[in-house]
Amino acid sequence: MQMILEQTTVNGRFGDYSLDEKQELLVDANDSLLDRAHQNMDILEGIREMVEIESTYHRALSGSWNRPPPSSAPPPEQRSSVPVLHMAKVTTRPQILFKDKIDNSNTPWVPGIKEKPNSLKPLAVLIEVNEEGYESYSHPYEYELDHWSPPPNQLKYQRPELPRSLENTPYSYIETPEQLDLMMAELKDQNALAVDLEHHSYRSFMGFTCTLQISTKAKDYIVDALTLRHRLHILNEIFTNPKIVKVFHGAENDIEWLQRDLAVYVVNMFDTYQAAKLLQCPKLNLAYLLHHYCQLDTDKHFQLYDWRTRPLSEKAVIYAREDTHYLLYIYSRMTNELLKASNNNTNLLESVYQRSTETCKRKYTKPLLEEDSHMVTYRKGKRLMDNRQLFALKELYLWRDTIARREDESPGYVLPNHMMLQMADTLPREMQGVLACCNPIPTLVRQYVMELHQIMLRAREQPLVKVVCNWKYCIFVYLSISPFTFDILLEYLNYFNRYLALSKQFHR
């Protein structure tokens, strides 16, 4: 927590404050992060001008109201503060140029797969209904995944080959159909590939894949998943080949994004995240594995890079290549360690493949609006609201969802949660009051301020229902616990009360 606060430029050690001051400190940190994020988005949209400097000192916020603010001029030893990552301005939204139509409707997601290479069973995408009554479509490769088992060569000790440096390794940027065909021809001869992808979600309702990184032991590829989006389904010839192992790290999101954007599925995957869990590594992220096995420290700033940017900067290319360049070596090392940890048996290694296969069975689900969707945000806000405020919150949530789907923007871009809760809590009478709840004011809030003002007025017109506060409900909201957990706690409390009552009767 202290490290996060330092990155948000909020002063003070977290453990030195009282409970109330800790809450205020976290609010300050959250506001600081959101302000910086919105300012950067305004720069990308051209609303603000970007100052061309390498790093900027941000004045630290005081952690409490009764502590004096620091001097506006930073001391010399602190002037190398948090570096600001400079990104090229994205002038055209990439999704406008997609050949496939983006479906943001409030209906279940439909798989886009048209052909099924490496099939054991013909392509059939059927509607399924789960126990809760929600509809979804069957996984096209479910049968193949159920009947897949690791080839014998993947259950043996590997010969780790430390990869050459990036400078001495061939690299191709794939952005034309001809380059894609050439890459496919080269990949078909491989028995192992390292795969990763970069994704963007802030300026899109569902998000989209921007780049796809693939590495063999001899070469690195970065595939432009924006330009070639409609052609990358041919990767199924490689990605569903049961004889080629695909090495990912933390593939849960990657598997779903590949399905949604590229109609690509994976058979035969080794997830180094699952291997790290079974090997009980102290950390499970890729940065730790790169440092542990390859003594490599990656640039964390590029976790915030806007991967829609074209052309990619030289440093962005290096970061993207590093995610897969060393992964096959790590895979070999971890395979050997799993075999050694199980006394040369294959049970741990097979468990990694089993867990990885379960990840491959994941299906993308579109975010759907339901009657009580706003209650998730309400509980996270940990504040009590009357019926007028809850009415406003529900209507604001519906408005935000509608605008986000129509404009293809993320809900957080349209109206961040903390601003939405502030509007619902204060119910401003005037339009200026609606804008005053937002700092900085999101573009679409300013554009649709009249609609938001009407929601506030309708909420104020609701008859106020006065209810006696139920202490159980207050605990439920404040702790943000699930109803099931709350029922268990309540059962224990009732049991304890009965025990006290019996004890009193016994001592009489």
* 345 and 394 housed in the same domain: no
**Prior bond of 440 cis (ω within 30°):** yes
* 325 and 398 housed in the same domain: no
Domain end (from 360, 383, 414): 360
pLDDT of amino acid 28:
60
pLDDT of amino acid 304:
84
Encode pLDDT of 203-231 as tens digits. 999 999 999 999 999 999 999 999 999 99
Q: Which two tokens stand for residue 113?
A: 């797969």
Whether 90 maps to a domain, the answer reads no
- List, in order, residues 6 or more apart from 23 with CB less than 8 Å away: none
- Nearest Cα to Cα of residue 316 among 85, 29, 58, 84: 85
No. of H helices and E strands in the chain?
Answer: 20, 8
* 392 and 272 housed in the same domain: no
- List, in order, residues 6 or more apart from 28 with CB less than 8 Å away: 10, 61, 62, 63
Q: Map residue 293 onto helix, strand or coil.
A: helix
Domain end (from 78, 93, 111): 78
Whether 98 maps to a domain, the answer reads no
Q: Is the pLDDT of residue 47 over 50?
A: no
- Nearest Cα to Cα of residue 395 among 301, 307, 313, 458: 458
Whether 418 maps to a domain, the answer reads yes
Whether 94 maps to a domain, the answer reads no
Who wins on pLDDT, 389 or 66? 389
pLDDT of amino acid 507:
62
Lowest mean pLDDT among 3-12, 71-80, 117-126, 362-371: 71-80
| Confidence bin at 38 (pLDDT 50/70/90) | low
* 211 and 185 housed in the same domain: yes
Whether 369 maps to a domain, the answer reads no
* 264 and 163 housed in the same domain: yes
Encode pLDDT of 246-273 as tens digits. 999 999 999 999 999 999 999 999 999 9
* 233 and 331 housed in the same domain: yes
* 267 and 345 housed in the same domain: yes
* 200 and 230 housed in the same domain: yes
Whether 106 maps to a domain, the answer reads no
* 331 and 247 housed in the same domain: yes
Whether 368 maps to a domain, the answer reads no
* 313 and 348 housed in the same domain: yes
State pTM to two decimals. Answer: 0.77
Q: Is the pLDDT of residue 408 over 90?
A: yes
Measuring CA to CA, how many Å separate 186 from each of 107, 219, 221, 242? 39, 10, 11, 17
| Confidence bin at 52 (pLDDT 50/70/90) | very low
* 356 and 380 housed in the same domain: no
* 149 and 69 housed in the same domain: no
Which long-range contacts does 381-387 make (Cβ < 8 Å, 24+ apart)? 381/417, 381/421, 382/477, 382/478, 382/480, 383/421, 383/425, 383/477, 384/469, 384/474, 384/477, 385/424, 385/425, 386/464, 386/465, 387/462, 387/464, 387/465
pLDDT of amino acid 477:
52
Q: In which domain, by residue range, is 501 found? A: 471-507
Residue 382 falls in which region: left (phi positive, over 0), alpha (psi -120 to 50) or beta: left
Q: Domain total for the chain?
A: 4
| Cα–Cα distance, 382 to 404 (Å, whole number) | 25
Whether 179 maps to a domain, the answer reads yes
Domain end (from 333, 360, 387): 360
